[in-house]
Amino acid sequence: MKLDSTMESRIIDALNNTWDAIGADILEANGKKDITRELVIEVVLDADSFSMYGDDEEAVAAFRVLEKEERKEVLRKAFPYNRYGY
């Protein structure tokens, strides 16, 4: 599935909404130490957090049908930094 720029932006917003909702708890659980981009992506996509906190069911559904490489590209855009913390 080829994403148009509007849907890509909506997916990125939904991914960031999810991190905004759970990020502080994740960082607290990690002793307030920063974490890698890979771990951020893992927790955002884990345990259906993306569906619960993304606030855009259509964007979540569009992300789920993307090919692996397209998913990686969108995730890199959503989470551009190597490490995340307070």
Handedness of CA 23, 29, 31, 34 (dihedral sign): negative
> Each residue of 60-73: pLDDT tens digit?
999 999 999 999 99
| pLDDT band for position 2 (cuts 50, 70, 90) | confident
> Each residue of 17-50: pLDDT tens digit?
999 999 999 999 999 999 999 999 999 999 899 9
Domain ranges in the chain are 5-80
**What is the model's pLDDT at position 1?**
63
Structure-token match 């849907």, residue found: 7
Report the chain's terminal Cα–Cα distance, integer Å. 35
CA distances from residue 8 to 2, 25, 74, 76, 83 in whole angstroms, order as listed: 10, 27, 7, 12, 23
Q: What is the pTM of this model?
A: 0.94
